[in-house]
């Protein structure tokens, strides 16, 4: 059985949810697969907009249940429901635009190519830290449905009741409720990954979790694509020319947002060896407060992480805050040479409100050390001198999927240009994003038609182009 826990008290509440049996997983996948063909011929933009409207109409119930399971608060959770709705609306725009199909016609060779939905069910694993935006109602679900693929979600055990409610709301707006399946439990996740009808898997979680799913996929007779968003330390480089006003406050706010439970949390900050600057960073964090983490397991993982970092100098510790699973923000410091000597282990992600401030004497020494960091979702540069930043920016462009100038990495805009991915271990597929319009590409495959009769061509590849999609013709 799976129980809902209140992070503020550590106590269970509500009715327990049975773990899904193999037969129940099979039934959910088969029902989703059977619903797929009709869905691919449905007016999907209107259906996606209906889902967005349903989420907004049920926000009062959704946020209240999620808050009981996550302790994230009304403001954050209402905003997250709005974000989830905006993702469905974005993909409605993507479908109406048609550019994601990448219709290409080469008349001389008589070859026509376009993207089509993967021919099966997409398995999605919910994240713990975003009960809506990266869960049942999240971007993986929205983008896969938009692509034309039915979905079966493996619910995260940290918010099972929120998952059930989210699924009911989404199904109420779908032409066939079977298009969205929901299963619970570790064994159900394994069964889902290895089901022959599942043609791709999306995952947001830890590196060990991602490796476990990849191992299950490798056991299949037909390995399938795996799009995992895993660990990320999101290095921030403060160069000597950086403006100091607001820097410390911005760091503390980014570090402690959502009790540090963001995949874009600034886990490494490189700063000049300036006592006033380092002190200001510590003072800002010391004035901050933690709160309850999402689960007891996540809390213990954070405590284990800061214990691993205890060999470093503790720069600052904030208040612990309220709640049985509450933690205190902690920031440690070390100089660049000592940091480099302890790579790569010192730079492992510590999921939660923890960061390492690395001090350097000469910015010219930074590129060689930054080059040794593992891949991240983001990298940030604070500077006012462009020439000073150029060597650092060149290295970071190879180590991260999104580069930020004079800002902070937390927060990922749902837009056409967003890329939320990066080199391993940030993601398993750095060419793809899990946020933004291009997230749909994960669930598409190209098909080329050579010498094909016009009557049998997809409408998107016909010369008369009745759907009006963008076509690239003869280059």
Q: Which residues are part of the catalytic machinery?
A: 229, 263
Contacts of 437 (CB under 8 A, 6+ apart): 90, 91, 93, 94, 100, 415, 416, 418
The answer to whether the CB of 216 falls within 8 A of the CB of 193 is yes
- With contact defined as beta carbons under 8 Å apart, do 272 and 240 qualify? yes
Inter-helix orientation angle 44-57/59-70, to 10°: 70
Pairing of strands 103-106, 471-473: parallel
DSSP E strands, 318-414: 330-335, 354-360, 376-382, 400-405
Distance of CA 202 to the CA centre of its chain: 10
Spatial separation of the C-alpha atoms in residues 448 and 22, rounded to whole Å: 37
Task: Give per-residue burial for 383-414: e unless 16+ CB within 10 Å, then b.
Answer: beeeebbeebbebbeebbbbebeeebbbebeb
Handedness of CA 147, 152, 154, 158 (dihedral sign): positive
Question: Would you state the torsion angle of the CA atoms of residues 70, 75, 76, 81, taken in this order, to the nearest 10 degrees?
Answer: 100
Cis peptide upstream of residue 344 (ω within 30 degrees of 0)? yes
């Amino acid at each position: 059985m799976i129980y809902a826990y209140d992070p503020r008290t550590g106590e269970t509440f509500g009715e327990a949810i049975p773990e899904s049996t193999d037969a129940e997983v099979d039934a959910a996948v088969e029902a989703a697969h059977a619903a797929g063909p009709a869905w691919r011929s449905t007016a999907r933009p209107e259906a996606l907009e209906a889902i967005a409207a349903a989420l907004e109409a049920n926000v009062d119930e959704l946020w209240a249940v999620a808050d009981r399971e996550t302790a994230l608060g009304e403001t954050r959770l209402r905003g997250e429901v709005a974000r989830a709705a905006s993702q469905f609306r974005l993909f409605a725009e993507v479908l109406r635009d048609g550019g994601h199909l990448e219709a290409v016609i080469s008349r001389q060779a008589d070859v026509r190519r376009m993207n089509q939905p993967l021919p099966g069910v997409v398995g999605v694993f919910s994240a713990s830290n975003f009960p809506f935006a990266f869960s049942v109602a999240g971007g993986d679900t929205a983008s896969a449905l938009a692509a034309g693929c039915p979905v079966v979600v493996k619910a995260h055990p940290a918010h099972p009741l929120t998952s059930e409610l989210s699924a009911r709301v989404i199904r109420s707006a779908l032409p066939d409720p079977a298009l969205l399946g929901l299963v619970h439990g570790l064994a159900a996740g394994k069964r889902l990954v290895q089901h022959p009808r599942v043609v791709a898997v999306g995952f947001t979680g830890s590196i060990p979790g991602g490796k476990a799913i990849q191992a299950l996929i490798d056991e299949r007779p037909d390995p399938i694509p795996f799009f995992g968003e895993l660990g990320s330390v999101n290095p921030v480089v403060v160069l000597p020319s950086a403006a100091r006003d607001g820097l410390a406050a911005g760091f503390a706010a980014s570090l402690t947002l959502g009790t540090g439970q963001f995949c874009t949390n600034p886990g490494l900050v490189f700063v000049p060896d300036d006592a006033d600057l380092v002190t200001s960073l510590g003072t800002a964090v010391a004035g901050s407060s933690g709160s309850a983490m999402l689960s007891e397991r996540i809390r213990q993982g954070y405590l284990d992480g800061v214990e691993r970092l205890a060999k470093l100098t503790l720069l600052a510790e904030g208040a612990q805050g309220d709640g049985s699973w509450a933690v205190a923000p902690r920031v440690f410091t070390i100089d660049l040479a000592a940091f480099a000597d302890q790579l790569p282990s010192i730079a492992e992600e510590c999921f939660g409100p923890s960061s390492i401030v690395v001090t350097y004497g000469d910015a010219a020494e930074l590129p060689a050390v930054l080059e040794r960091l593992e891949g991240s979702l983001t990298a940030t540069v604070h500077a006012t001198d462009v020439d000073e930043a150029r060597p650092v920016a060149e290295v970071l462009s190879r180590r991260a999927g999104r580069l930020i100038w004079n800002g902070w990495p937390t927060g990922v805009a749902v837009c056409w240009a967003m890329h939320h991915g990066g080199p391993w271990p940030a993601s398993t597929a750095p060419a793809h994003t899990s946020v933004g319009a291009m997230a749909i590409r994960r669930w598409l495959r190209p098909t080329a038609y050579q010498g094909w009769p016009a009557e049998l061509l997809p409408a998107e590849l016909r010369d008369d182009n009745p759907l009006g999609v963008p076509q690239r013709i003869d280059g």
